[in-house]
């Protein structure tokens, strides 16, 4: 099985940039970089077709607002939901939402 190619929406990069800015304001720029690298590691894990196939479409309205068949991956630190959908051989990352805002 071939790996999925990952496509990231611009708004996701903006969100990660805002997360980095916040962490850098509280801690250090290096800590912010490390945190965002871990988020990108979580995103990269979605290239695995077995992982993506094992996930069911989300029932959360917060996820469905991005795509009717949206799925979500909870980040390793459980603070973020990575909202995505698949199109042919692509995983499209639609958004990153704080876990506390999922409805």
Domain count for the chain, please give it: 1
Q: Which residues are bridge partners to 8 per DSSP?
A: 93
Task: Please write the tens of the pLDDT for every residue from 69-82.
Answer: 999 999 999 999 99
Report the CATH number that the domain containing residue 40 is assigned in CATH.
3.30.2310.20
Q: What is the 8-class DSSP label of residue 73?
A: E
Residue 96: pLDDT band by 50, 70, 90 thresholds? very high
- 86: which residues sit within 8 A by CB, 6+ positions away? 4, 52, 69, 71, 92
Q: Which residues are bridge partners to 48 per DSSP?
A: none
**Helix (H) or strand (E) segment spanning residue 48:** none
- Structural domain range at position 95: 5-101
Q: How far apart are CA 72 and CA 58, in angstroms?
A: 6
Residue (of 55, 63, 44) closest to 5 by Cα position: 44
Determine the pLDDT at residue 71: 97
pTM of the prediction? 0.91
């Amino acid at each position: 099985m071939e790996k999925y190619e990952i496509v990231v929406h611009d708004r996701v990069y903006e969100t990660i940039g805002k997360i980095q800015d916040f962490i850098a304001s509280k801690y250090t720029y290096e800590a912010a970089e490390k945190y965002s690298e871990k988020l990108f590691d979580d995103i990269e894990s979605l290239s695995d077709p077995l992982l993506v196939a094992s996930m069911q479409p989300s029932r959360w309205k917060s996820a469905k607002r991005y795509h009717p068949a949206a799925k979500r991956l909870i980040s390793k630190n459980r603070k973020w939901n990575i909202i995505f959908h698949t199109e042919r051989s692509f995983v499209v990352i639609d958004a990153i939402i704080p876990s506390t805002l999922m409805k």
